[in-house]
Amino acid sequence: MTNTTIAFVGAGNMARSLIGGLLEESSQYRIAAADPDAAQRARLAAAFQIPVSDQNRAATDGADIVVLAVKPQIVRTVCVDLREQLAAQRPLLVSIAAGVRTTDISRWLAYDTAIVRCMPNTPALVRSGATALYANARVSGAQRDSAESLMRAVGTIVWVDEEDALDAVTALSGSGPAYFFAVMEAMEEAAVSMGLSRDQARLLTLETALGAAKMALEAGEAPAQLRANVTSEGGTTQAALQVFAQRALADTLTQAMVAARNRAREIGTQLGADE
């Protein structure tokens, strides 16, 4: 992807994270960005010394890749504004706008657009993201490679074959950090109630979460086996896990993720109908 011109439409946190990751990887990318917010533009220009404009057309002029990093509710407006320019240039369009379907983006642009839709999550802001990507039929092999390189700048990527799978991804990795934060919050509060200081409880909670995730990544065993490995018959861990089972933790998580997936579907339908 070296010597590739990449334009970011929208300069919020995710765009800044991607730009930072790309420039850390290589100084040969030509990157420009646009955002209507003067403060956002100033932060981006100061951090990366790249061309920043308040005009989307100026930033996307001549771009090989255009990254839609705007709020989902304004994707249609942005597409309509850029449709003539992008139809002439035919760049790869990479959308990180949650819930906005590729068919709707292509319809708003009014040409056969090569689109990769991505579902990143917030740990991408610290280069530890998990992103799922879907490419429509117009995306070439080289363009798939470019999109993959772009999103690898902020973490791990996986490809899905069906766009509908992104709704499940939203329920898992998209919303997932909040589930873990909720568990961390509850563990911290429980530890404080049992006499630990707030600082002790928070540090031990966070390090435990980090260590468990690292073990799961590196051990080569399924989470069920890792759980069994640390659960002694009649021990403290078993006592805790029995409470989880009695309170139907697994069913609760499943119901929560199904609710998130269904809401993602609803949002996609609403955004596509927003004329």
Q: At what angle do helices 198-218 and 176-193 cross, to 10 degrees?
A: 140
Residue type, 36: P
Where a domain ends, among 106, 134, 167?
167
DSSP for 53-100, written as a single string: ES-HHHHHTT-SEEEE-S-GGGHHHHHHHHHHHHHHH-PEEEE--TT-
pLDDT given at position 9: 98
Angle (deg, nearest 10), helices 249-273 and 236-246: 50
pLDDT in tens, 85-134: 999 999 999 999 999 999 999 999 999 999 999 999 999 999 999 999 99
| Per-residue pLDDT reduced to its tens digit, 44-101 | 988 998 999 999 999 999 999 999 999 999 999 999 999 999 999 999 999 999 999 9
- Are 20 and 117 part of one and the same domain? yes
Q: Within this chain, do residues 214 and 195 fall inside the same structural domain, yes or no?
A: yes
Domain stops at, among 122, 141, 167: 167
Q: Is the dihedral of CA 180, 186, 192, 195 positive or negative?
A: negative
- The tokens for 204 are 């031990």
Phi/psi class of residue 156: alpha, beta or left (left: φ > 0; alpha: ψ in -120 to 50)?
beta
Residues 124, 251 within the same domain: no
Q: Please give the residue range of the domain that contains residue 50.
A: 5-167
